[in-house]
Structure 1
Amino acid sequence: MYDIFRDEVIVDLNDENFSKFYVQINKEKVDSFSIRFNDKIYNLSNVKNANGIEDGFYEIPHHGKLQLFIKHLVHKQNDHVMITYTYKQVLWLKRENHFYDISSKKKFIRQFPNHKKSVRRKIRLLKINFDFPNRLKLVKLLQHAESL
């Protein structure tokens, strides 16, 4: 299991001897892992000492000339009556060992100043919503950007 709030890997040791026994794995010892959630498989890698992004587990769905890094986050809000949790994805583009925040349409287009029209057109064609990004559509967008 993956505790998205704490960015930790949890192992369920539920067997006949232990009832609901969980162990938090030392994050430093985990390079990567896969998890199934809502009929999708997510492959997360432990990114350490990368210049420009925080250490932690990132989904990296595209490995090409451009790489897409997705940080899955949950924010806790307490309004003195109820505690709520809000899910968010932060998107990073890795190009030539530099990371760029692409969590909005504007930020993404800014990375391709010579191809703004083409990139805008592709975003519109794929119907990409940067508030709730779809990783498969983002991969198609990156493949298009690599071909420019």
Structure 2
Amino acid sequence: MVARKSLKGDYCPSARSLDVIGDWWSLLIVRDAFDGLTRFGEFQKSLGIAKNILTERLRTLVASGILELVPAGDSGTRMEYRLTTMGKDLFPVMVALRQFGERYLFAPAEEHSLLVDRTTGQPVRLDIRAQDGRSVGPDETVILKVPEET
């Protein structure tokens, strides 16, 4: 098996982000955390993941600051995984993945889960905007790369 290359020092913010959350188990754990799951057993039951893989992914997400371990209840003997501020900042990423899946990976009448506003029950949509408030897409943006050293 080929060892995974670390992207921790890469100049690209996308690459550094993928270094932390770039496997499907990690993103599914984050999805479940947004859905209110907090316990090891809850994640395992939801995902059907092997204990050793779940343990490693949770350890990485905690070490990276995406999740934190907090005491569950008053006794402090049981621990729960909670999204940190950093973890909650992944919300737009998760919404973007949902929107992609809804648009391209389901048949027109096929049922799927929905993300809705808790207050109104209306579907949530992600919209990318420039600093001045204009809606922008890939044709209206460009990545300014860090110059390569020679």
- Per the TM superposition, whether the score is higher than 0.5 is no
More strand per residue:
1
TM-score (norm 1): 0.22
More helix per residue:
2
